[in-house]
């Protein structure tokens, strides 16, 4: 294995471990720092096109370069002239659009990473001469493809995290108790009202086994246990079965009746049952 193949493999291995073990918000910064160390660059930065009129330097090393605003038009023209392929400058041209960021440096690589909705460009630069031999360029192409994948994963995860936060806020504000139990046996969720009714420590993610035990404990307080048992058999006879208006009549110091709905949830990614308890 050549030196450059080894470096490309090291980049893939380390970013794969980070993908599983660390928080996604710091994934890209780690990856860019790793590229700098593996390729022993003096300067590395990400240039992100925020809109038609602004490009901003992010994840830069040295740190003082971060936050700079760059006119995106000359950079776009450079990328279009090179068909959005990685650009190798054994000697940095005097008329390049990143003069401020590449001041006092000798050679550079400009790597476009095209991800919607924002385009990013990774820039690496050295103060000493570098040979951009075919093995080096193959290494850069492998890194580019992995970096594109990292950016795509980052955007996707942050998008779904945002959706999860919004829907959790909505479900916590409902006046009814909501319980979701995934059919995989590993995931479950309750809102605050359900956590109170089921006497759980708090809302949010819960193991299905814990939810099942808590719901069994609640059901055992009912005075109409025979009705609950018979209806349960019918409900769970088929995954498609649903029920609404099912009464759980609970005894105790403060007797209550809950109108319970149990609805199957099926999609490409999620299968389970949604329970709704209305007082």
Q: What is the mean pLDDT of the chain?
A: 86
Assess contact for 205 and 194: CB atoms under 8 A.
Answer: no
Residue 120 dihedral angles phi and psi, to the nearest 5° = -125, 150
Of 278, 274, 251, 252, nearest to 263 by C-alpha is 274
What would the pLDDT profile of 140-197 be if each residue is shown by its tens digit?
999 988 888 877 777 777 777 788 788 778 877 788 999 998 887 778 889 999 998 8
What would the pLDDT profile of 47-84 be if each residue is shown by its tens digit?
988 888 889 999 899 999 999 999 999 999 999 999 98
189 three-state secondary structure: strand
SS (H, E, C) 193-222: HHHHHCCCCCCEECCHHHHHHHHHHHHCCE
Assess contact for 249 and 222: CB atoms under 8 A.
Answer: yes
Could you give the domains of the chain?
3-164 (3.30.450.40), 174-278 (3.30.450.20)
- b/e 27-53 (16+ beta carbons within 10 angstroms → b): bbeebbebbbebbebbbbbbbbbeeee
- pTM equals 0.61
């Amino acid at each position: 294995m050549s030196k450059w193949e080894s470096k490309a493999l090291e980049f893939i291995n380390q970013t794969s471990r980070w993908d599983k073990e660390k928080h996604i918000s710091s994934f890209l910064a780690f990856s860019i720092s790793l590229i700098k160390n593996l390729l022993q660059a003096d300067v590395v930065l990400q240039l992100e096109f925020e809109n038609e009129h602004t490009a901003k330097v992010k994840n830069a090393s040295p740190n003082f370069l971060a936050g700079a605003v760059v006119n995106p038009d000359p950079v776009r023209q450079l990328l279009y002239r090179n068909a959005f392929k990685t650009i190798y400058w054994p000697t940095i041209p005097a008329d390049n659009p990143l003069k401020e960021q590449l001041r006092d440096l000798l050679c550079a690589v400009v790597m476009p990473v095209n991800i919607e909705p924002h385009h990013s460009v990774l820039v690496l630069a050295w103060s000493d001469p570098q040979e951009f031999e075919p093995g080096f360029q193959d290494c850069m192409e492998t890194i580019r493809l992995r970096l594109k994948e990292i950016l795509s994963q980052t955007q996707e995860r942050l998008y779904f995290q945002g959706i999860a936060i919004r829907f959790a806020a909505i479900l916590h504000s409902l006046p009814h108790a909501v319980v979701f139990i995934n059919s995989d046996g590993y995931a479950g969720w309750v809102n605050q009202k359900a956590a109170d009714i089921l006497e759980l420590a708090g809302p949010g993610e819960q193991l299905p086994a814990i939810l099942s035990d808590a719901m069994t404990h609640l059901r055992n307080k009912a005075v109409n246990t025979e009705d609950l048992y018979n209806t349960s058999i019918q409900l769970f006879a088929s995954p498609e079965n649903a029920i609404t208006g099912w009464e759980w009549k609970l005894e105790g110091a403060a007797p209550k009746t809950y109108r319970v709905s149990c609805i199957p949830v099926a999609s490409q990614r999620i299968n389970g049952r949604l329970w709704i308890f209305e007082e």
